[in-house]
């Protein structure tokens, strides 16, 4: 597989110039406005109703735009943002511990291993405070101190307490806030909400995004919708790995089909792996459950020193245990960043030191903490997590060490967008996890919620207006040829899937793909493995289109057909991820190339050759996509190498 260099474009992120702290202010002033009376003449389709989608839909409807929303679940309130536990960052500096917009900006750029746009990250830090104000005004019940002020905690290794939280259900509460704002506009008739719809096609007219085709999951019918702009807020693509902490319906199809219509897919190889998930218990496993990272504050990670040691943990004496994180990283110990903790767990298991029946787990032991602090204190801090663990595994973590294993959790890559959150397809905006923009190669804890809401509440309301005011919009009807063609393409694709009637279930293919991805495009990647992954995925995809079995009829509810459509996309996206990982011959953040590491086995960036965004342009299913680049410049934060020793 060779890269064609002839057509490489240098992408323009449309980043404003000037001092970083003034760029968003200046840009807001320079953007064109739509007259209040004219806003009702514009319509927007919002696909996905998670934090980014719901907040965008509500804010745009409040301004007067006509909004139509689509979600795959039976209610907009169920999007997977709901599962975020930990919290949301904001540079409020309420605890007076030295936080500032600049510090949040700095931490995020550094945490992302210098692979995000400075301007975007600064804007994110700048609006973070307003997000908290907005959510409180909506009635989000954040944790409070006795005096009635908001509580903060330190999260994910941050050195300041800037994380706001609502028990272990912050994502749920923020989403319900955004959902209620959205339902407020539904009641006013400014939003039309369609549920149980899956986007299957993006429709472009004269080069602009002007509509979508969706499949109604209940009736099996295909429906077309037109508008003046389309917003995708459809989340990430972690389910390429089959087992992930994503919800079952989380999929990449909306974003991927936009890619196939010409939108660039940026940095697909940037995935985040969370170190503290509950291990796989058997082949029946359908998803993985994450436990808050805060567990590592008190738990000690270890494996037996003897390979394949089958003794129960209490039979293994202290001197036969390897507390490997404490051994390798004496200063950070068990609190090393997510990617470091995850990679080391997999290395231990691959070397045969893993525990549990599957050998795919390491211990997270609270015995010392319980002895030091007392069981009551530990119960107060982690009681709900221990309960959840016991519910799933039937083991009592107060008595026996927990077992954990890393799992795919978040994807930093996504559709390429400029500073205005618009993709290279005019009129196609991408928000939240679905875009590639703010987290670089690695996302900090409690920053996903912040970004989703920043995009929806405080960025898109300005930038979409600028787009509307700068362009002319001819009236578009869903009866015109572009829509008819998209409709036919979609119908044919699903009909084709039904017609194969082979022998293997959709899940079998999905599991096989997940296995390839996890082993070769997971935590540690190398050239040979990635090349093998690409050829394996190609073979699997060819087999899928020959041998998959989709039961049921095309009319009404057919979950197998839904899954088949998504897995067909994953089988292409997986290859793209491997290709991106292959071409990025450096390690950065969540992308670890074994060829590029420091003598201490740390990720080593290659800023001379890879300080850029890779944005892929589709050229055909079996053709090699084109790798465009957007140069990243760091004017404010100096490029340095991470070290956690």
Partner 1 sequence: MSGSNHDTMSLNLKVWRQKNNKDKGSMVDYKLDGVSPDMSFLEMMDTLNTKLVKEQGDTIAFDHDCREGICGMCSMMINGQAHGPEAETTTCQLHMRKFKSGDTIVIEPWRAKAFPVLKDLMVDRSAFDQIIAAGGFVNVNTGNPQDANAILIGQENAELAMDAAACIGCGACVASCKNASAMLFVSAKISQLALLPQGEVESEARTRDMVAKMDELGFGNCTNEAECEAQCPKGIKIENIARMNREWVKGAFAARK
Binding status of residue 141 toward partner 1 by CB under 8 A: yes
The CB-of-316 to partner 1 minimum distance in angstroms stands at 11
With CB under 8 A as the rule, give the number of residues binding partner 1.
89
Binding status of residue 145 toward partner 1 by CB under 8 A: yes
Q: For residue 173, how many other CB atoms are within 10 A of its CB?
A: 22
Binding status of residue 143 toward partner 1 by CB under 8 A: yes
Q: Answer yes or no: are the C-beta atoms of 75 and 82 closer than 8 Å.
A: no
The CB-of-531 to partner 1 minimum distance in angstroms stands at 33
User: Exactly one of 31, 94, 153, 644 binds partner 1 (CB under 8 A); which one?
Assistant: 94
Classified as helix, coil or strand, 375 is helix
The CB-of-96 to partner 1 minimum distance in angstroms stands at 12
Using CB under 8 A as the binding rule, the residues of this chain from 461 to 480 that contact partner 1 are: 461
User: Exactly one of 20, 121, 200, 247 binds partner 1 (CB under 8 A); which one?
Assistant: 247
* H-only helix segments in 188-286: 253-260
Stretch that binds partner 1, among 39-47, 178-186, 255-263, 533-541 (CB under 8 A): 178-186
Using CB under 8 A as the binding rule, the residues of this chain from 293 to 312 that contact partner 1 are: 310, 312
Q: Answer yes or no: are the C-beta atoms of 573 and 268 closer than 8 Å.
A: yes
Residue 584 is a catalytic residue: no
Stretch that binds partner 1, among 135-143, 208-216, 331-339, 637-645 (CB under 8 A): 135-143
How far, in Å, are 16, 271, 470 from residue 124 at the CA level?
15, 20, 25
The CB-of-318 to partner 1 minimum distance in angstroms stands at 19
Q: CB burial class (10 A; 0-12, 13-18, 19+) of residue 406? A: buried
User: Exactly one of 322, 326, 543, 560 binds partner 1 (CB under 8 A); which one?
Assistant: 560
Q: For residue 282, how many other CB atoms are within 10 A of its CB?
A: 7
- DSSP states of 532-577: HHHHHHHHHHHHHHHHEE--S-SSS--HHHHHHHHHHHHHHHHHHH
Stretch that binds partner 1, among 236-244, 256-264, 391-399, 485-493 (CB under 8 A): 391-399
Binding status of residue 193 toward partner 1 by CB under 8 A: yes
Burial 472-482 (b: 16+ CB within 10 A, else e): ebeebebebeb
The CB-of-257 to partner 1 minimum distance in angstroms stands at 21
User: Exactly one of 104, 124, 403, 567 binds partner 1 (CB under 8 A); which one?
Assistant: 403
User: Exactly one of 216, 297, 393, 526 binds partner 1 (CB under 8 A); which one?
Assistant: 393
Build a one-symbol-per-residue string for 568-607: x at contacts with partner 1 by CB under 8 A, - elsewhere.
----------------------------------------
Binding status of residue 317 toward partner 1 by CB under 8 A: no
User: Exactly one of 46, 88, 101, 166 binds partner 1 (CB under 8 A); which one?
Assistant: 166
Whole-angstrom Cα distance, residue 636 to residue 127?
Answer: 19
Binding status of residue 3 toward partner 1 by CB under 8 A: no
- DSSP states of 40-86: GG-EEEEE--SHHHHHHHHHHHHHT-EEEEE-SSSSGGGSGGGG--S
| Tokens of residue 298, six digits | 């008190």
Using CB under 8 A as the binding rule, the residues of this chain from 207 to 236 that contact partner 1 are: 218
Show Cβ contacts of residue 413 under 8 Å, excluding neighbours closer than 6 positions: 237, 265, 266, 267, 268, 269, 270, 271, 436, 577, 580
The CB-of-391 to partner 1 minimum distance in angstroms stands at 6
Stretch that binds partner 1, among 120-128, 169-177, 223-231, 462-470 (CB under 8 A): 169-177
Tell me the backbone φ, ψ of residue 145, rounded to 5 degrees: -80, 170
Whole-angstrom Cα distance, residue 56 to residue 73?
Answer: 18
Whole-angstrom Cα distance, residue 503 to residue 28?
Answer: 56
Pairing label, strands 229-232, 43-47: parallel
Spacing of C-alpha 113 from chain mean position: 17
List 23, 296, 338, 443, catalytic entry: 338
User: Exactly one of 46, 101, 158, 183 binds partner 1 (CB under 8 A); which one?
Assistant: 183
Binding status of residue 518 toward partner 1 by CB under 8 A: no
Stretch that binds partner 1, among 439-447, 548-556, 574-582, 598-606 (CB under 8 A): 548-556
Q: Which residues are catalytic?
A: 338
């Amino acid at each position: 597989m060779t890269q064609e260099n002839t057509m490489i474009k240098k992408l323009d992120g449309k980043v404003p110039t000037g001092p970083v702290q003034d760029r968003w202010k200046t840009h807001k002033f320079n953007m064109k406005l739509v007259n209040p009376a004219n806003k009702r003449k514009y319509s927007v389709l919002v696909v996905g109703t998670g934090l980014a989608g719901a907040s965008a839909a509500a804010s745009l409807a409040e301004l007067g735009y006509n909004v139509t929303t689509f979600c795959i679940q039976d209610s907009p309130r169920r999007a997977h943002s709901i599962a975020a536990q930990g919290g949301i960052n904001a540079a409020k500096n309420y605890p007076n511990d030295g936080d500032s917009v600049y510090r949040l900006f700095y931490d995020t750029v550094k945490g992302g291993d210098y692979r995000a746009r400075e301007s975007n990250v600064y804007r994110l830090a700048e609006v973070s405070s307003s997000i908290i104000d907005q959510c409180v005004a909506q009635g989000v019940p954040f944790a409070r101190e006795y005096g009635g002020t908001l509580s903060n905690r330190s999260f994910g290794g941050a050195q300041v307490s800037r994380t706001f939280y609502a028990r272990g259900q912050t994502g749920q509460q923020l989403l319900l806030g955004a959902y209620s704002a959205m339902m407020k506009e539904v009641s006013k008739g400014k939003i039309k909400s369609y549920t149980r719809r899956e986007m299957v096609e993006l429709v472009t007219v004269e080069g602009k995004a002007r509509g979508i085709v969706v499949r109604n999951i209940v009736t099996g019918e295909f429906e077309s919708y037109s508008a003046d702009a389309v917003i995708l807020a459809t989340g990430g693509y972690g389910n390429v790995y089959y087992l992930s902490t994503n919800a079952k319906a989380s999929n990449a199809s909306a974003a991927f089909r936009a890619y196939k219509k010409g939108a660039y897919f940026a940095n697909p190889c940037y995935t985040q792996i969370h170190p503290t998930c509950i291990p796989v218990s058997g082949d029946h496993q359908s998803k993985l459950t994450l436990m808050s990272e805060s567990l590592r504050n008190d738990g000690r990670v270890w494996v037996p020193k003897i390979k394949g040691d089958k003794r129960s943990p209490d039979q293994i004496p202290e001197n036969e245990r390897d507390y490997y994180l404490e051994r390798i990283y004496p200063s950070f110990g068990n609190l090393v960043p997510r990617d470091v903790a995850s990679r080391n767990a997999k290395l231990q298991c691959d070397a045969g030191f893993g525990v549990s029946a599957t050998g795919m787990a390491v211990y997270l032991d609270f015995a010392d903490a319980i002895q030091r602090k007392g069981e009551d204190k530990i119960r107060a801090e982690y009681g709900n997590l221990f309960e959840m663990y016991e519910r799933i595994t039937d083991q009592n973590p107060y008595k026996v060490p927990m077992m954990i294993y890393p799992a795919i959790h978040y994807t930093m890559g996504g559709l390429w967008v400029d500073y205005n959150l618009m993709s290279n397809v005019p009129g196609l905006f991408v928000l939240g996890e679905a875009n590639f923009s703010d987290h670089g190669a690695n996302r900090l804890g409690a920053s996903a919620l912040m970004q989703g809401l920043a995009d929806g509440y405080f960025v898109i309301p300005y930038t979409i207006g600028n787009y509307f005011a700068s362009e002319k919009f001819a009236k578009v009807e869903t009866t015109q040829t572009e829509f008819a063609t998209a409709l036919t393409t979609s119908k044919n694709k699903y009909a084709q899937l039904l017609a194969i009637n082979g022998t293997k279930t959709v899940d079998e293919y999905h599991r096989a793909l997940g296995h390839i991805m996890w082993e070769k495009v997971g935590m540690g990647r190398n050239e040979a493995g990635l090349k093998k992954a690409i050829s394996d995925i190609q073979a699997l995809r060819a087999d899928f289109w020959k041998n998959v079995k989709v039961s049921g009829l095309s009319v009404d509810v057919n979950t197998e057909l839904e899954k088949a459509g998504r897995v067909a996309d994953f089988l292409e996206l997986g290859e793209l991820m491997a290709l991106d990982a292959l071409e990025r011959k450096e390690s950065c953040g969540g992308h670890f190339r074994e060829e590029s590491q420091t003598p201490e086995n740390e990720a080593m960036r290659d800023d001379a050759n890879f300080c850029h965004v890779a944005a892929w342009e589709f050229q055909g299913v079996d053709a090699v996509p084109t790798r465009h680049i957007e140069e990243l410049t760091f004017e404010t934060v100096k490029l340095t190498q991470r070290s956690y020793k």
